[in-house]
Amino acid sequence: MSHLTELFKYVDDHQDLYVQEIPLPPIILGQLGSDPAKKTVCIYGHLDVQPANIDDGWDTEPFTLVEKDGKLYGRGSTDDKGPVLAWFNCIEAYQKIGKDLPINIKFCFEGMEESGSEGLDDLVFSRKDTFFKDVDYVCISDNYWLGKNKPCITYGLRGICYFFIEVECGGKDLHSGVFGGSVHEAMTDLIALMGNYLPLFKVIDHLQKKFAELGSPNKLKVNMGHGAKAWVSDFNHPHYMAGRKAMKTVFGVEPDLTREGGSIPVTLTFQEATGRNVMLLPVGSSDDGAHSQNEKINRSNYIQGVKLLGAYFHEVSLLE
């Protein structure tokens, strides 16, 4: 038994080896250029993706990029590894032709966007007076055209709000053949709560009130998971006008101006932390299938997208 004392002491002294916080993926900050005579644009993108397995219904291995019929298939091809790579290919093109970038660029790339951008808000606000201090504009390419043929620029996001409702009934599992119909089951309460209109605000208060009206002997727990506020910007801002001119230069048409039903939580964070205009400049098409099987980006969208980003750099450099 004497060895147990030594064993227990070792475990106590090294408990961090056994009980650890899960480390978050690193957030990558980078910079190209620091010319005070040039505008500085912060580019955001994310490198994490949704889970994928060929058994989910993919026609190809999801983590092997495959080109077929002018389409590039693979998880992250449009959300968001493809657009992130397009920024780098645009910068590479400037280098290959021996031209200096017309703007300064700051990068902010993360690996937790698909999980609510855990930790990113804190970092952005903590660096707002240092790394992000001299940013003039923020540009994000993490969304999609409204259709398949005409490009768009996005100036608004709906935001998102998750709530978890838990109803607890019996303290142990019961046989439905014996107790079914005689026990007040949790599912009955959940259906009653979720089957009526939920107000846009005061969700928790509303659910607690409705639950009290049921007279149920069960216990209710409601809590909010992660969420993101709605965001809207001014599509007539000079930054947007630069984006619109870039779109017309490459595609020959004025882009659609859209607001999306999705959410990119850090969009509003950048706007609030920097006090600067934020614009969403999509590369992908509406049928790319982000988050779905056989996610793809059209080869033409990608190549034209690289040109678009180059034209965007040029137009921003001309802003007063």
Write out the DSSP string of 227-262.
EE--EE--TTSHHHHHHHHHHHHHHSSPPEEEEESS
pLDDT confidence of residue 304: 97
User: How far is Cα 133 from Cα 232, in angstroms, rounded to an integer?
Assistant: 22
Task: Pick the catalytic residue from 48, 114, 118, 272.
Answer: 48
User: How far is Cα 273 from Cα 97, in angstroms, rounded to an integer?
Assistant: 36
User: How far is Cα 86 from Cα 272, in angstroms, rounded to an integer?
Assistant: 27
Check the CA dihedral 236-239-240-246 and report its sign.
positive
Fold equal for 28-159+229-317 and 161-226: no
User: How far is Cα 320 from Cα 310, in angstroms, rounded to an integer?
Assistant: 19
Q: What is the pLDDT of residues 23-78, one digit of tens each?
A: 788 999 999 999 999 999 999 999 999 999 999 999 999 999 999 999 999 999 99
Q: Which residues make Cβ contacts (< 8 Å) with residue 160, sequence separation at least 6?
A: 227, 228, 262, 263
For residue 116, the one-letter residue type is: G
User: How far is Cα 78 from Cα 119, in angstroms, rounded to an integer?
Assistant: 24
111, 26 Cβ separation under 8 angstroms: yes
User: How far is Cα 258 from Cα 311, in angstroms, rounded to an integer?
Assistant: 20
Q: Rounded to an integer, what is the distance from CA 259 to the centroid of its chain?
A: 15
Task: Pick the catalytic residue from 110, 113, 288, 315.
Answer: 113
Topology, domain 161-226: Alpha-Beta Plaits (3.30.70)
pLDDT confidence of residue 134: 98
Domain boundaries, the chain: 28-159+229-317, 161-226
Which stretches within the chain are classed as H helix? 2-13, 81-96, 120-126, 176-179, 186-194, 203-214, 238-251, 266-274, 299-317
- Catalytic residue list contains 189: no
Report residues of the chain scoring pLDDT below 70. Answer: 1-2, 15-22, 197-200
pLDDT confidence of residue 224: 87
Element (H, E) at 154: strand 152-157
CATH (residue range 28-159+229-317)? 3.40.630.10
- Catalytic residue list contains 113: yes
Instruction: Write down the pTM of the prediction.
Output: 0.85
